[in-house]
Structure 1
Amino acid sequence: MNAPANQIPLQSATVGSDDEIDLFELIAVVWNGRRVLLGLMVTAVTLAAIYVGLTPKLYNASADIYPVNTIQLALISPGFSADAENRATGELSPELLFNTALMKLHSENMAEQFLSTTGAQVNPQGANPQTAKQFLDALSVSKEKSGTRAAINLHGTQPQETATQLKAYLNFVSQAVIVSVSRDLLAALDASIQYIDRSMEQARQQAENKRLDKAAVLAEAADIAAALSIQEPRIDHLAHTEVTPFNDKLYLLGTRALQAELAALQSRKQKDAFIPELRQLEAAKSALLMDAEKVRQHQTSIDAFTLPASILAPTQPAAPKTALILIAAVVIGLIAGLVTVFVRQGIRAYKIRTQSAYMAGYKKEILRREGHYAVL
């Protein structure tokens, strides 16, 4: 009885073994394709070596900067921080200078000033003149979370020139920050001094108004005393009477005392001596003037941050990573070689199976024809 058309015939247990991976066969395939494998690996390594040779080597000059200590900053810190109204002139701290300097380091305007002012137009990354953007692209600033240290790095193809330029830029930024902070500090001190001057002028004007008022009161009292013929103060008049400069009993002092006090008041020359708050204002102004002079004198002798004594030129390039590139080339060449060997072996195996199937079909056809002829 014939089997149904869609029935799958039984196969022997040895048929499935053809699809299993044989380690020795894999090794044999790799060994047979060793020339292709080695050729691709050598090609990849050669291309990597050419790339490394043609790529300019970048060197990394680095420096660590720290905030200045309080003792150094005391040279320009105000010693008197308030005037008559206890108005602060500003607070100067190492942290303020340090953070301001870190912001200025990545300022394009600061980089342009540095390149134009110092004439540092040599490009560490090439022979062409360097722009501010190129300079900032080569510069990196990394600040610790503690805020007590920052690492500054500059990349360039010329080790010594890169280290020299980094040192010059740090000095330039430090001095620029000090000049800017000193200018702001001097402006705050000058504003406080002007405020004190206005307060002193106001105090003098108020004292002058009081003097004129008192002179008018004394003159009127003297006229009253003269009209009443009171030349000298009488005990019986003053026994139970309170006499003050601003009440209507002042005339009881008599014309002689009133005219003498009026004459002294009108001829007074040292008017500041009778203004008590003026001395305090003058002391505040004197302290602020001393602070301003201290800032002008020492603003060029301190730094915004602690600079390294010197920056050593790097001896080993930071890029390209020669060893890493060559290792990657070997790995890529190995992978490409293995893929090529296995693909080639697969194509060969496919051709062999196709050819075998064709030959098997051809033989069956011959046998069928031979059997047909035998029957006839």
Structure 2
Amino acid sequence: MSNAPQPRQSLPSDEIDLFELFGAVWKQKKLVLGCTLLAGLLGVGYAYLAPRVYQVSSVLRPAAINELDALNRSEVYKLPPADALTKVAAQLDSYETRLGFFRANPALFEAFQQPGRSLEQSFEAFNNDAVRLSLPDPKNPDALNNYIRLEMQYPSGADGVAILNGFVAYAIAQQRNQVGADLKVIVNNRLNELKGKIDAARANYETGKESKIARLLEADKVKRAQLQDELGALRLQMKTQRTSRLAELDEAIAIARSIGIKHPTTPSAMGAEASPGGGQVMRTEVTNQAIPLYFMGTQALEAERAALARRTNDDFSNTRIAEIGKELRMLDANREVEVLKSRKSEDMFLQDVEPLWAEQARLRSLNIDMSALKLVTVDRQAQEPSSPIKPKKALVIAVSLVVGLMLGVLMALIWHFVQVRRQTVPTSTLDERRLPPR
């Protein structure tokens, strides 16, 4: 038996021959070129027929300090420029503000409304996809970073410039109205607070005045009662004294009659009349005892008793009664009470209310009309774009050409491997049949 090796077809190797692949692709260059041209034509068609999308933007920066100086100097509402910008940013980002502007300007949003969708659904699509707000980085305090950028994408046929500029103006106006409403509420609350304090001071004054009048009238009443009591006591005292004097006079008259004294005399004079002898004698009487009343004689004593018996009022005999009458007459009218009751402008007598009045006048003179308040500065308004941002024609065509080329190469390679497979499988099967059995 011969051991000579039989000729055999070599099996395909697992290694990839790049030159062979390149050659296979080159053989199918028409297919590759056709796929590339077809994809390029599709890309060109899409680039020129796809709906165009435009983009506009607006930039807001903090207002100048002097724009908010009047508001901040009111000492009622503090709003630094950075805070004003933050408030406007919150207003721009507010769902309610955007929906309000959408509803207030339906003509501007006709391009966003799609058939079969409600107004709210169209707004949701616009709010989620069309508008994008860029806020300043809070970690970067640089003044150059303190700005708001608002971008909006819109389809062809919509007036994006009018929409964005109108929305910015609408949001600023809404925030301005909010600041005006807040200022008005704060001023009214302060005025109500000051009014409450003034009313409390007025109530305290009224209470104090009524209390003072009551104290004055009560003091007059007490004084009048005391004087009347004193007057009654004095009159009773003088009446008792007059009765005692009458009894004393009766006793003295009886004594004078019994000893025969008719005219006023003295003990020494009575002794001289009883002594005999003539001659003129001058006597001087010195005594430390009061001469008894009956020495006045019956004539004088009876005259005094008659006068006292005829007396009906003893007031003239005591000067204190006249003084009491004067004091009672003065108590008939309390001039201080009359002056207190006759006050017309009682607010002038309130205590510690001058600062409250001054603050009240200042608050009332504040200008709470915020229609001219400039919260932010529109650094850049939206301008009509020169070209759409979608579709990007050059990029679309380039990508389509690349995709077409890759697709053509892939198809060429697939065709090459299919041909190789067809050629190798039958040959290998025939070789196996020719091998001798072992």
Query: C-alpha distance in 2, partners of 1:22/1:214?
Result: 122
Deviations 1:115-137 (A, max 9, x none): 44345434456898984334323
In structure 2, what residue type is equivalent to 1:57?
A: R
| SS of the residue 1:320 aligns to | coil
- CA deviation after TM superposition for structure 1 residue 27, in Å: 1.9
- CA deviation after TM superposition for structure 1 residue 164, in Å: 2.2
Query: C-alpha distance in 2, partners of 1:132/1:195?
Result: 44
Matching of residues 130-279 of structure 1 within 5 Å: 131-136=122-127, 137-146=129-138, 148-158=146-156, 161-229=159-227, 259-279=334-354
In structure 1, what residue type is equivalent to 2:348?
A: A
Query: C-alpha distance in 1, partners of 2:208/2:182?
Result: 39
| More RCO (CA 8 Å, sep 6+) | 2
In structure 1, what residue type is equivalent to 2:345?
A: Q
- CA deviation after TM superposition for structure 1 residue 197, in Å: 1.2
Q: 1:316 aligns with which of 387, 399, 406?
A: 387
Comparing 63-72 and 263-272, the one that deviates more: 263-272
Comparing 350-359 and 59-68, the one that deviates more: 350-359
Q: 2:407 aligns with which of 336, 344, 363?
A: 336
- CA deviation after TM superposition for structure 1 residue 56, in Å: 1.1
Query: C-alpha distance in 1, partners of 2:149/2:6?
Result: 73
Change (3 A) 1:73 1:11: farther
In the alignment, structure 1 segments of 5+ residues that lack a partner are 2-9, 82-89, 231-253, 369-376
| SS of the residue 1:306 aligns to | strand
In structure 2, what residue type is equivalent to 1:279?
A: E
2:108 aligns to what? Answer: 121
Query: C-alpha distance in 2, partners of 1:289/1:11?
Result: 119
Query: C-alpha distance in 2, partners of 1:334/1:316?
Result: 29
Query: C-alpha distance in 1, partners of 2:31/2:165?
Result: 53
Q: How many residues align?
A: 321
Deviations 1:267-288 (A, max 9, x none): 2223212212221111111122
Deviations 1:285-332 (A, max 9, x none): 1122122xx122xx1112332124643211121112223222222232
Instruction: State whether structure 2 residue 360 is matched by structure 1 residue 285.
Output: yes
Query: C-alpha distance in 2, partners of 1:132/1:286?
Result: 48
Q: Is the 2:71–2:78 Cα contact (8 Å) retained in structure 1?
A: no
Change (3 A) 1:96 1:115: same
1:46 aligns to what? Answer: 41
In structure 1, what residue type is equivalent to 2:415?
A: R
1:26 aligns to what? Answer: 21
Change (3 A) 1:118 1:337: closer
1:353 aligns to what? Answer: 424
Deviations 1:204-257 (A, max 9, x none): 011110011111112222333344559xxxxxxxxxxxxxxxxxxxxxxx8869
Q: 2:80 aligns with which of 69, 80, 93?
A: 93
In the alignment, structure 2 segments of 5+ residues that lack a partner are 139-144, 229-326
Q: Is the 1:67–1:304 Cα contact (8 Å) retained in structure 2?
A: yes
Q: Is the 1:143–1:151 Cα contact (8 Å) retained in structure 2?
A: yes
The CA RMSD over aligned residues, in Å, is 3.4
Query: C-alpha distance in 1, partners of 2:371/2:378?
Result: 15
Query: C-alpha distance in 2, partners of 1:80/1:105?
Result: 27
In structure 1, what residue type is equivalent to 2:195?
A: D
Query: C-alpha distance in 2, partners of 1:312/1:159?
Result: 16
Query: C-alpha distance in 2, partners of 1:210/1:73?
Result: 46
- CA deviation after TM superposition for structure 1 residue 73, in Å: 1.8
Q: TM-score, normalised by structure 1?
A: 0.74
Query: C-alpha distance in 1, partners of 2:194/2:83?
Result: 27
Identity %: 21
Query: C-alpha distance in 2, partners of 1:326/1:32?
Result: 26
Query: C-alpha distance in 1, partners of 2:154/2:175?
Result: 25
Query: C-alpha distance in 1, partners of 2:378/2:423?
Result: 76
Q: Is the 2:61–2:378 Cα contact (8 Å) retained in structure 1?
A: yes
Q: Is the 1:215–1:265 Cα contact (8 Å) retained in structure 2?
A: yes
In structure 2, what residue type is equivalent to 1:322?
A: K
Q: Is the 2:111–2:158 Cα contact (8 Å) retained in structure 1?
A: no
- Structure 1 or 2, whichever has the larger Rg, is 2
In structure 1, what residue type is equivalent to 2:361?
A: S
2:291 aligns to what? Answer: none
In structure 2, what residue type is equivalent to 1:144?
A: P
Query: C-alpha distance in 1, partners of 2:152/2:43?
Result: 26
Comparing 176-185 and 116-125, the one that deviates more: 116-125
